[in-house]
Amino acid sequence: MYKTHACGELRADHIGQMVTLAGWVNRRRDHGGVTFIDLRDRSGIVQVVANPLDSPEAHRELVDARMEWVLKLRGEVHRRPEGMENPKLPTGEIEIEVKEVVVLNSAKTPPFLINKEEEVEEQTRLRFRYLDLRRQRLLTNLVLRHRVVKFIRDYLDKQGFLEVETPILFKTTPEGARDYLVPSRLYPGEFYALPQSPQQLKQLLMVAGIERYFQIARCFRDEDQRGDRQPEFTQLDLEMSFVEREDIMQITEDLFTQLVRGVVPHKRLLASPWPRLTYEEALSRFGKDNPDLRFGMELVDISDLAIDCGFKVFENAVASNGQVRGLNANGLGNYTRKQIEELAEYTANFGAKGLAYLAVTPQGEERSSFAKFIKPETLNIIKARFKIEPGDLLLFVADKPAVVFEALGRLRSLLGDRLGLKDKDILAFCWVIDFPFVVWNQDENRWDPSHHLFTAPMPADIPLLESQPEKARGQQYDMVLNDNEVGGGSIRIHDRSLQEKVFKLIGLEPEVARQRFGHMLEAFEYGTPPHGGIAPGIDRICMILADESNIREVIAFPKNQAARDVMAEAPSPVDPTQLNELHLNVKD
């Protein structure tokens, strides 16, 4: 056999036993003719000793061995000499006096160190991902991900859910991003699509009477990449029948509250039960609908003070149905003009035309880009509203509400990082509810669903769909964690007539709706129960729990920022014969 024990499991209790181990050379060193290696497998590291006087053949093999060679060895567990213990290793009390060594495979010198955590250019790490995954950081992340998924499965099983797999090859339907299309060989000119989510399928499972379904689902979206996006990703897909919004939120909150306590007990929940914010409240206080509650620095509205205040920028914004809001960056009152201009350039990326400021140095000296234009009594009220103190920096944006919220929300998050306000050991879950049912798409001159087109409106708001759709609210809810939306869900439409009304509202012609969703509309005529669900993102949640800033660090084989697999060099051209079989021509 290759192993009687794993390297990392050996302890003082094993002293005197003969063991067989297999793994990689993590480190090798020679002392006075005696060779020491650290042998590594997934479980950990153990020290191996080869003395040329006791085991000359085994010693010869280890003298030649280099880092990352794969070895099998047999030896006796000994206690390390007094004073030579390694308290940093779980196996640090013992060592293996080797008797036999078999080289299972040699190895080239790796392009980066495996046994040391050091900065390595990401393209190199992704090119040699199979080596990157040998390093402790990535291995730890994969173990965490495994435990998260296992906890979810065990919890939902106890709650009476069935895990049901749904197709990867399905029908192309618009769900907010481009589909990945798969050409059919048997049906020339026709295509499958990889699912952006199992949305329709899980609803059809509710029609089928499954009642409680979940799946660790693979999803595919052809969209621009970011640090928290991948072309293919994994979500917990969950759907329940005979439920209201509160039922979905409660079971999800309990699942993840227990998951944190069971899987990452060193983390601390900021609040339990989780806070709940309406969409309007989240924007008003934090500038975004996925707020970070680990710190304050809330937005303050001074639009009422901007009217006839003397500063034309503020006055004109309010006169144009805009707003003036600001935030107090406590501790940045000594920022230089250059540093403030850098912040202004940052907010300009999100539409802000300028960033007004009022700074108070720790010594009490005031500097401002606008104070001299403001009426003194108005300026005093502004200071009081922000509770300004020495060392504070007030930053203001005056513009349309959407620009004000986007710019200040992003700025607040940036300043939270700079001021060290984002404690990674705190998990600030919250719910955001009462979203607008639809939003106006100026480019297409139509209403778009704010969630997806199967989301049900609030029952009381159904009459508004024909008269004032902008005032209607959706029965949706977002699960937010530490500045990230990590899940979203809704109560679904289960009535054909209401679904057709929503299709009409968003400009989907009846014939087009029938072609795309005829199977759904037909299913709604066969006794569909009220139902709803949620889809938390496994990748994003694991990223946060692992204290990583990019989901690529918790995915075994991710794509890079350009959506390419640099290890396998995909996507790649295919043989013309394959294209002919699929009835495809590639244009230059």
- What's the CATH number where 514 sits? 3.30.930.10
| Cβ contacts of 338 within 8 Å, gap of 6 or more | none
Q: How confident is the model at residue 182 (pLDDT cuts 50, 70, 90)?
A: very high
Distances (CA, A) of 348 to 279, 404, 442: 24, 11, 22
State residue 396's pLDDT score: 98
| CATH code for the domain of 302 | 3.30.1360.30
> Same domain, yes or no, for 206 and 265?
yes
> Same domain, yes or no, for 304 and 395?
yes
Q: How confident is the model at residue 538 (pLDDT cuts 50, 70, 90)?
A: very high
Residue 117 domain flag: no
- pLDDT for 110-150, tens place per residue? 999 999 989 999 999 999 999 999 999 999 999 999 999 99
Distance, CA of 179 to CA of 223 (rounded, Å): 9
With pLDDT > 70 as the criterion, what percentage of the chain qualifies? 99
Q: Is residue 508's pLDDT more than 90?
A: no
Domain range for 394 is 295-421
For 30, other C-beta atoms within 10 Å of its C-beta total 12
> Same domain, yes or no, for 411 and 434?
no
> Same domain, yes or no, for 313 and 413?
yes
Beta pairing, strands 366-368 & 393-399? unpaired
Distance, CA of 323 to CA of 403 (rounded, Å): 9
Distances (CA, A) of 412 to 291, 421, 482, 526, 568: 10, 11, 13, 50, 40
Q: Which of 314, 360, 301 is nearest to 334 (CA)?
A: 360
Residues 427-434: what's their mean pLDDT? 98
State residue 443's pLDDT score: 85
State residue 588's pLDDT score: 77
> Same domain, yes or no, for 417 and 452?
no
State residue 587's pLDDT score: 87
State residue 248's pLDDT score: 98
Q: Determine which helix (DSSP H) or strand (DSSP E) holds 212, and give its type and residue range.
A: strand 212-220
State residue 175's pLDDT score: 57
| Cα torsion angle, 180, 186, 190, 192, sign | negative
Higher pLDDT, 450 or 7: 7
Residue 125 domain flag: no
Q: Which of 445-454, 519-528, 555-564 has the lowest mean pLDDT?
A: 445-454
Task: Tell me what percent of the chain is helix, strand and coil, each rounded to the nearest 5.
Answer: 35, 25, 40
> Same domain, yes or no, for 452 and 481?
yes
- pLDDT for 457-498, tens place per residue? 999 999 999 999 999 999 999 999 999 999 999 999 999 999
State residue 59's pLDDT score: 95
Domain closes at, from 53, 84, 105? 105
> Same domain, yes or no, for 156 and 91?
no
| CATH code for the domain of 38 | 2.40.50.140
Q: What is the mean pLDDT of the chain?
A: 95
- pLDDT for 295-353, tens place per residue? 999 999 999 999 999 999 999 999 999 999 999 999 999 999 999 999 999 999 999 99
| Cα torsion angle, 130, 136, 138, 141, sign | positive
DSSP string spanning 305-336?
A: HHTT-S-HHHHHHHHTT-EEEEEE-TT-TT--
Single-letter code of the amino acid located at 402:
A
Residue 190 domain flag: yes
Q: Is residue 174's pLDDT more than 80?
A: no
State residue 181's pLDDT score: 95
Residue 184 domain flag: yes
> Token pair for residue 313?
């920028």
> Same domain, yes or no, for 485 and 401?
no
Residue 95 domain flag: yes
As a residue count, the chain comes to 588
> Same domain, yes or no, for 334 and 212?
no
Residue 284 domain flag: no
> Same domain, yes or no, for 389 and 442?
no
Residues 6-32: what's their mean pLDDT? 96
State residue 32's pLDDT score: 85
- For 422, the 3-state DSSP assignment is coil
- pLDDT for 246-295, tens place per residue? 999 999 999 999 999 999 999 999 999 999 999 999 999 999 999 999 99
> Same domain, yes or no, for 411 and 307?
yes
Higher pLDDT, 441 or 22: 22
> Same domain, yes or no, for 82 and 200?
no
Adjacent-strand bridge partners of 473: 436
Please give the model's pTM, rounded to 2 decimal places.
Answer: 0.94
State residue 163's pLDDT score: 98
Domain closes at, from 372, 393, 421? 421
Each as own residue / partner, the long-range contacts of residues 4-9 (CB below 8 Å, 24 or more positions apart, any chain) are 6/41, 6/42, 6/43, 6/44, 7/39, 7/40, 7/41, 7/43, 7/44, 7/45, 7/46, 7/91, 8/41, 8/42, 8/43, 8/44, 8/45, 8/46, 8/90, 8/91, 9/43, 9/44
- pLDDT for 397-414, tens place per residue? 999 999 999 999 999 999
Domain closes at, from 401, 421, 441? 421
Distance, CA of 485 to CA of 431 (rounded, Å): 10
Number of domains in the chain: 3
- pLDDT for 37-70, tens place per residue? 999 999 999 999 999 999 999 999 999 999 999 9
Adjacent-strand bridge partners of 103: 71
Task: Determine the longest span between alpha carbons in the chain, in angstroms.
Answer: 94
Distances (CA, A) of 286 to 82, 289, 396, 422, 561: 58, 8, 14, 15, 28
Q: Is residue 173's pLDDT more than 80?
A: no
Q: What is the CA radius of gyration of the chain?
A: 30
State residue 176's pLDDT score: 65
Residue 481 domain flag: yes
State residue 388's pLDDT score: 95
Q: Which of 83, 40, 39, 34 is nearest to 58 (CA)?
A: 34
Residue 350 domain flag: yes
State residue 164's pLDDT score: 98
> Token pair for residue 565?
């697999």
